[in-house]
Amino acid sequence: MADDPVTIDHRAERGHSDSVGTRTAAGASPGAAADASPWARRLLVAGIVLAALNLRPAITALGPLLEEVREALAMNGTVAGLLTSAPALCFAVFGGAAPRLARRWGPAAVVLAGMAAVTAGLALRPLAGGTAWFLAASALALAGIAVGNVLMPVVVKRWFPDRIGPMTGLYSMALSVGTAAAAALTVPAVQALGGGWRLGLGMWALLGALALAAWVPVVRGARTRTAAPGGPGAGADAPGAGIRITRSVTAWSLGVFFGFQATAAYVVMGWLPQIFRDAGVPASTAGLLLAVTMGMSIPLSYALPRIAARLGHQGPLVAVLACCGLGGYAGLWFAPAQGAWAWALLLGVSNCAFPLVLTMIGMRARTGAGVAKLSAFAQGTGYLIAVPGPLLVGALHQHTGGWHAPLALMAVLMTAQLAVGLVAGRDRCVEDGG
């Protein structure tokens, strides 16, 4: 039977370690990329990077232009609030369909379709003449992103099973670059080109087009390699397809860990500048501090998965990141302005729990089908958990008139993140029922 991109079976209970310590099942293929030509491998890596670059600009490019979009489309505050919470909801809803689609068509084809949805959504959104069409185009782009979120770990597991750490680090870093670039460059690009908000949002469709161009030949190559009977359509008989993911302690711990780290990240992105401004930090400096916090993830997103892949238990990394987060919250409580740069750095390190949990998703399943199910479950559960966090922090701030209650809440959630992360970091696989 030809190897299906979703359902490669790593049959041994425990495998050997590669140069970075990532386990590969004994006797398993080192991945389709190992059998491909150097040009094909480079194209696949480029496709992974370009796909990752497209997983956040639809979200972060909108923030700096939201006021102009609201004025142009006569968008009320309720709809604007829906836009800010839509990403997490769409990621949870649409991401759940990714494993089924991947079993039917193969992960490469579904990633290609996701990039097409992102590109189309970004291209159509500036053409919207009203709120309904703008929301529909945004939902199309977010659906494509949701599929990419879930299947990127599957793609890495399929083609680079012996390089999970480095490849996860590479696409995590690319995702961080795309996030920061869209937030930082959209307004300056609009000003330099003399355009408006429509140009600022639509120009990111060009990045999606580049990802499409890279994934078309990848999909063609994948179909050639899996054309034998029992390939991508193997479905129910594929190894790992019968996993009952909702009965796995590992899956639940990863999902809750994902939710807590996403909550912390969204709160930091949404409220950290205001915390600094309320402490007397100038607005321009507060924005720069947030940029420093977000920028920390670029180098760490590359390095952290490589370190995590060397460890049998990722608990020590979970603990270090949680301690950085608790230190940052404590600093914001006692001396928010005096130590602002230190707190920004600590929270930037803590936010790198995201690439860590992506790496653990790839390591907590032996089969491609297992990774697909685990990724969809962990991210779907996690994003649902993260939806109310920023809203609750805002409500606590409004009710108390200060930041001590929100910071106390975040410290409690960070402590819970540490506890569940220690469980998620155990060397267990969902195929074992653990």
Contact 31, 157 (CB under 8 A): no
Closest C-alpha to 410, from 246, 204, 227, 272 = 272
User: Cα–Cα distance between 157 and 21 in angstroms, integer?
Assistant: 14
Q: How far apart are CA 367 and CA 178, in angstroms?
A: 29
- Give the long-range contacts of residues 189-193, CB within 8 A, separation 24 or more: 190/65
Res 223: pLDDT: 67
Q: How far is CA 122 from CA 62, 92, 179, 211, in A?
A: 11, 20, 15, 13
Query: Each residue's pLDDT tens digit in the chain (434 positions)?
Result: 333 333 333 333 333 333 333 344 333 344 455 455 677 778 899 999 999 999 989 988 887 787 788 889 988 766 776 776 788 888 888 888 888 898 889 899 999 999 999 999 999 999 998 899 999 999 999 999 999 988 998 888 888 888 888 898 898 889 888 888 887 788 888 888 888 899 999 999 999 999 999 999 988 877 665 544 344 443 434 455 567 888 899 999 999 999 999 999 888 877 888 899 899 988 778 878 887 888 888 899 889 998 998 998 999 999 999 999 999 999 999 999 999 999 999 999 999 999 999 999 989 988 878 888 898 899 889 989 988 888 788 889 888 999 999 999 999 999 999 999 999 999 888 887 66
User: Burial level of 39, CB count in 10 A (0-12/13-18/19+)?
Assistant: exposed
Predicted local confidence at residue 209, as pLDDT = 96
Instruction: Give the whole-angstrom CA distance, residue 157 versus residue 374.
Output: 12
Q: Given this model, what pLDDT does residue 242 score?
A: 62
Q: Is the dihedral of CA 305, 410, 180, 74 positive or negative?
A: positive
pLDDT in tens, 256-304: 999 999 999 888 877 888 899 899 988 778 878 887 888 888 899 889 9
CA distance 308 to 82: 36
- Strands in 2-154 per DSSP E: 16-17, 23-24
pLDDT digits (tens, 9 = 90+) for 167-204: 988 988 898 888 888 877 888 888 888 888 999 999 99
